[in-house]
Structures are given as structure tokens and as C-alpha cells.
Structure 1
Amino acid sequence: MSDVRVVVGPGVVADPTLLSEVAEREFAALGVKGHIRYARTVDELRPDGGIPVILPGPDPAARALMSEPVGPVVWLDLTRDDRVSPGKDARHLHGRGVDGLAWAIRHAVHRTRHSARRITYGPHPDQWADLYLPPAAESPTAEPPTAEPPTTGSSSGGFPVIVLVHGGYWRSIWAADLMEPLAADLVGRGFAVWNLEYRRPDLHGWQATTADVAAGIDALAPAVEPALDLSRVAVAGHSAGAQLALRAAADGARVALAVSLAGVLDLVEGERRWLSSGAVASALGPEAHVYGAASPLSRLPLKVRQLVVQGSGDDLDLVDFSRRYARAARESGDDLTYLEMSGDHFAVIDPATPIWRTTAVAMANALR
């Protein structure tokens, strides 16, 4: 693999030592070589090989460069900028502060290690999903993967599908790259993965968000990929994405399993407790009746098999939501498995953690 080349443009407001520390830590964690340099001019921002991650800075010429076809660059803005339309094969992450550099490096490396087919399900740039297939699906002569479980392909040759719905408290600075580590892990376990992007309500309104998740799941069809076993589809959402995933199941999405990973499962109480500085009201608006209609807890029974996963070291409100939801779902007659283990909010989407490994096996067992 080529080296990761991080380039910081003129005018980027951040401590250089801190940026270097973040980059070096991420290089080590990913097992890649990399370096960071500081451009003095806009011309020095142009990629010159390797795996490019570029912080363009505020210069208008640098901003214009982002829309040019300069290759598979990951452009990174530490501040929020929803107006960027990156050039062909490029990606844009923004609004995550200095820690966004870690996410940008992860995304850049992921793209070189794991191939996916991007499929659109609508005309907006955010209406797409990345489809990942197990090696056995891409190469008929390849041996199936031997991770836990040993083989998830069905006797007919189709692979079960996991639809991943990212969280981020319904805010546009967070995107489907959050779920890429899980996509890679699940493909290695023999699943096909549909990593779903959708319009977020802070820019497009709540109805657009819920419509996109439904349409994105419905877009799975034999025409997309004949190797998929569409009788074994799970939708798995993280945090706010879990609310969207379980809401889709309640609305009749064709799924055999709905999975909550540290989910925001009680929107009524989430708004009352001002969760994440008012994220519920910001996403859904001021009308209280909307919260109940969108809240998984208020939609029980879902009449779909469910797996609720919660890290015990997470925000205590989310622990409370998951426990109360699991109890209420069982009382409503739903078939639900509750899994609570050590871990924080992101442990449930980290392939290296025991809670995720246990979750992956539970999902495989549910889709047998």
C-alpha cells in the first residue's frame, strides 16, 4: 500500500504539533506509513501520489481546487462547509474539528483496502449506498470466508445482507464513513453489506430523512446484485441511526432483523432530557406529536425480530433508553435479544471490541 500523504493548506487554523500527533497516531493504528507536510501555496496542495488527505484551508483558489478532477482525494475541512461538491472520485469530510483528521485518514485507507460499488437510489448526491460483497460472491472459485460464523452464504448461493445506517444525531457533519470499519468486518464474515447514506434533517427536513432510509432499503433488489439473499436482510443502525433503522422496520421495511447499536430509542424522553444539546428537537422540529410517531419505543410492537446492543459505559440516558425499550418490546410480544457489555458509545461499532464481536455472531445466528 502507498503511503498516506496528509497536506495542510495555507491558513488552516490548528496547532501543527497536534495535527501531527493525530496523524501519527492514526498511521500507527492502521499499520500504514504516512507523513504530514504544510503547503505554502495552493499549487503545493495538488496530490503528488500516495493516499492523499488534504486540508485545503480558506484560500478561494484552494476551495476551487476541491471541485477539480484531481483523483481520489479525501478533502478535509475542520470547520463545517455544506456547500462543497468534490471532484470525480474525491470525498469531502467536514465539521468534525481536529479529530476529523483521524476520520479522514481512516476513510482514505479504507478506500484503498476495500472495494465497494456505489449505487444511487435517488437524484440527490446524498442518496446512495456502498455495496460490499464477500470474496466468494466476487470470485465464484474463491473459498468462503472462515470468520465467525464459518459460512453465512445460503444453500442457494445467496449472501445475507446487513444494511448499515450511520448515526451522528441526525447532523450532516456525520456520514456513512462512520460505518466503514463494520462494513469491512462483516464482509470478512461472509455478509454482503449495504452502507446507506441519506439526506440529514438539518439541511433537508425530517421527512426527507425518513423517506430516504425507507427508499434506500427498498432499493435492494435482485437487479442490484443476484448474489444477495433478500430473505435474510438485517438493518443495523448506530445511535441516531438505530432510531432510523427501527423506525423503518416499524414502517414495514422488508427486513428479517432490526439491530440497535447504542440507539436513541425514546425520542419523547430524549427531547425532554435535551439529549446532545437538543438534537431531537433540531432534527424533528418543535411539534411534540412527531416524536412519538418517530420513536421506536412508541411504535411497539415492531413485529420484527430485534437485537438491542448497548455499551454499559455509554451515556447513561442511552443505557436507560435501551433497557426500557428492551423490556417494553418483550412485553409487547416482540422477539428481542438484549446484549449489554462493557464499552462506550463507539465500542459497538469498533470491530476490535468484544461487544462488537459478540454482536456479529448474534446477527449471524439470527439470520441463519
Structure 2
Amino acid sequence: MSRSTSPDMNSIGKRTKAVSKCHTRRVAYCAVAVLTSLGLAACSGFTYGSDTPRIDDESIEQTAQFPRDGIMRFHYATEHERQYGDLFLPRGQRYSEPVPLVVMIHGGGWMEKSDAASTNDLAENLTTYGVAVWNIEYRGIGKEGQPGPGGWPRTYEDVAQAVDFIPTLAERSAVPLDLTRVTVTGLSAGGNLSAWSCSRPALPNGAPGSNPRFEVNRCVGLAGVYDLKLAYEQHDRYVKTLLGGTPDEVPDRYRLSSPAENINKDATIVVFAGRNDEVVNYDEATSFVKEARAAGLKIEEHILNNASHVSWAKVTGAQWKLARTHILAQVGIKAENLSSVPEDTGVRISR
């Protein structure tokens, strides 16, 4: 958040084959999940490596809870209660073929008081187009200047673990998932985390999130923060607390958390920003696009003349509808005409 005034179907780099489950396996799993939702605790555990904590797939037994109809909740790790995600399932019909998956990452200044419930409406809206949505939670920071369970590197490690959990998620899902059609999207701080999740293959060995077990190489960022040093220089209220210091004090943290500094050339990214955004300057998008194109990344930029920071979260708004079109297109679903831009967005498209 950069102002202090308020505060082509690209193949996945290391393609993981879609996990198809027989009907009996899905029914059996759902039975176990229902028991869990009634209070039977699952045995689980994970191991720690030299950098990002990793789930030990051989020892962990993941079962689901059902917080709401059509949603399966899974814990992708067990260190903290916020290390979970909600899998929103497509509604209204039976699916004999695997469905695409959208990873959704909420914003809110990377703060603990923000949560994944803020993007529930967007997730549910996407499911009406025949995709599943993995709406993830993560550990956040406290109030400005105050410690919290998140921050560097824990917030980023949580996002990495949630993405690496996707193959296990596919095994557990009541609907088969097509892991060759996965994209990630997020708003504001979630835009930073979603683009960062695509940059993980470019991170140096040993860095938090490096050497991903599952790669997501498509992203749609909404009013995202892509260069955290730039955000700090523009008096962002949260970045110093998130990273534990200034760019001069912890330069490596700023570099490793900034998608603009870690370009994964195999990724396909679309970024949206608004000229009327009162929280994140749209030059976060334009500077990222400039750096990314110079490095050879395929990236598309949409700067809207009539979009505030909260416009993207309004499920009935023209801004979200435009963004949704591109999210769905990245997983092979043409829900609307991509060449048609809603009149009231005042959009300028730069490619």
C-alpha cells in the first residue's frame, strides 16, 4: 500500500498431472471429512527444512471440515490456527472431468485482523463459472509497529505451503481438480502474495518459498504491491512492520518479497490497477510491468481510470467483472468477450 494518506494457456513449468479420483474414493473421503467436522481430530504433522517449512506428505493425514455448504476446509500446516484454506466447489452440476483451480489470496495490509472471509464473495462468484477456488488464510502482522504471528518470513512461508499443498488438495477434493489449469489471484497485499507465489521458481536457493514443490505460473494481480521498497518510499503504512525494518536495515527481505525483483520468465501475469486508488499507487503496477518486460516476462497491464482500491472487491462491479474475465481466461474458460470492456471502468489497456 503505497500512500500514507489512507494508508495463451501457458503450461505449468513443472506440470503436475491432474489427480482423477474414482467415485468410491471421493465418497469414502467425504465420509471421513464429515466425521472430522463433528469433532474427530485428525493426526497430522510436518517437517522443517533449511528454509520454508514443508508438509511431510507421508506422515500427515489431512481431513476436511465443512464450515459452509459447498466448502471444504483443510489445514495445509499445523503450526498455527490460521494455516488453512477453504476449497470452494463448483455448484449446480456433476463434474465427470477435472475442473480448473483458482488460488485466491486476500489482502488487508498483510494484517492479522484481515482474513480470508473478505474474499468469500469473489470465490463463490468464480465457482458459478465451473472452477474450484482455494481461498487461503495466512498468518498476518499486528497493528502498525506491533508484532504478530505473521510477518517475514512466516506470512510468505504460509503462502508457499498453501500452494505446495495443492496436489494433496486435489487428492482430497470432492470434485476432481485439473492441476494443469491453475491460476492465482489476489487483491492489494494479496496481489503481492499472488505475484510472489509465481516468482518462487526465480528465488535463490535457501530463500523462503524457494524450490516450490508445485508451481503456479499464471497470475492476475489486483491493485497489488509488487516492489516493497517502492512502497516504503511512498510511505506505505505496513511494509516496515511486515519485513521487520527499513530497506537499508533489511535489504534482502525487501528484495526477496518483491515480485518485481524476482522475475519468473515462465509465468503469464495480468495486473490491474486504478488511477483513483487511494491506498496503492498505480505506479506499483506500471513499474512492475516495465521491469518484467525488460526481463522477458509475458505480462499484461490494465490501468483503469475509474477504479478505487475497493472497486475490485465488489462482486457486482464492472472492475471485478473485467478482472474475473481474465482470471477465467487463464484457466481456459471464456466467460465473457475479452475484447469487450465495460464502459464505466474507463479502462486504458497497455500490452
* TM exceeding 0.5: yes
Aligned length: 241
Q: How does 1:113-262 map to 2 (within 5 A)?
A: 115-123=70-78, 124-135=80-91, 139-140=94-95, 157-201=97-141, 202-221=148-167, 222-225=170-173, 227-252=176-201, 253-262=214-223
| Distance change in 2, residues 1:189/1:297 (3 Å) | same
| Counterpart residue type for residue 223 of structure 2 | A
Q: Output the CA distance in 1 between the equivalents of 2:280 and 2:91.
A: 40
| Counterpart residue type for residue 157 of structure 2 | A
- What does residue 280 of structure 1 align with? 239
1:223 is displaced (CA, Å) by: 1.0
1:271 to 2:219 alignment: no
Choose from 287, 294, 312 the match for 1:324.
287
1:282-331, CA deviations, whole angstroms, 9 ceiling, x for partnerless residues? 00111133101211111124531101011221137521111111222122
1:349 to 2:313 alignment: yes
Choose from 324, 330, 342 the match for 1:360.
324
- What does residue 144 of structure 2 align with? none
- What does residue 303 of structure 1 align with? 266
Q: Output the CA distance in 2 between the equivalents of 1:271 and 1:360.
A: 30
After superposition, the CA RMSD in angstroms is 2.1
Q: Output the CA distance in 2 between the equivalents of 1:366 and 1:344.
A: 24
Moved more, 337-346 or 234-243: 337-346
- TM value normalised by structure 2: 0.64
1:242-298, CA deviations, whole angstroms, 9 ceiling, x for partnerless residues? 1111112111351141121100111011112221x2x10100111133101211111
Q: Output the CA distance in 2 between the equivalents of 1:204 and 1:261.
A: 22
Whether the aligned pair in 1 keeps the contact of 2:151 and 2:241 (CA below 8 Å) is no
Whichever structure has more helix as a proportion of its residues is 1
- What does residue 303 of structure 2 align with? 340
1:169 is displaced (CA, Å) by: 1.0
| Counterpart residue type for residue 157 of structure 1 | E
Q: Output the CA distance in 2 between the equivalents of 1:261 and 1:242.
A: 6
- TM value normalised by structure 1: 0.62
Q: Output the CA distance in 1 between the equivalents of 2:120 and 2:234.
A: 31
Over the matched positions of the two proteins, sequence identity in percent amounts to: 28
- SS of structure 2 residue aligned to 1:362: helix
1:183 is displaced (CA, Å) by: 0.5
Q: Output the CA distance in 2 between the equivalents of 1:185 and 1:206.
A: 32
- What does residue 28 of structure 1 align with? none
Q: Output the CA distance in 2 between the equivalents of 1:324 and 1:348.
A: 20
Q: Which structure has the larger Rg?
A: 1
1:336 is displaced (CA, Å) by: 1.1
Unpaired segments ≥5 residues, structure 1: 1-87, 89-110, 141-155
| Distance change in 2, residues 1:181/1:317 (3 Å) | closer
| Counterpart residue type for residue 89 of structure 2 | L
Q: Output the CA distance in 1 between the equivalents of 2:278 and 2:252.
A: 25
| Distance change in 2, residues 1:218/1:136 (3 Å) | farther
Unpaired segments ≥5 residues, structure 2: 1-38, 40-66, 142-147, 202-213, 333-351
1:36-77, CA deviations, whole angstroms, 9 ceiling, x for partnerless residues? xxxxxxxxxxxxxxxxxxxxxxxxxxxxxxxxxxxxxxxxxx
Q: Output the CA distance in 2 between the equivalents of 1:283 and 1:190.
A: 36
| Distance change in 2, residues 1:271/1:206 (3 Å) | same
Whether the aligned pair in 1 keeps the contact of 2:90 and 2:128 (CA below 8 Å) is yes
Q: Output the CA distance in 1 between the equivalents of 2:70 and 2:280.
A: 37
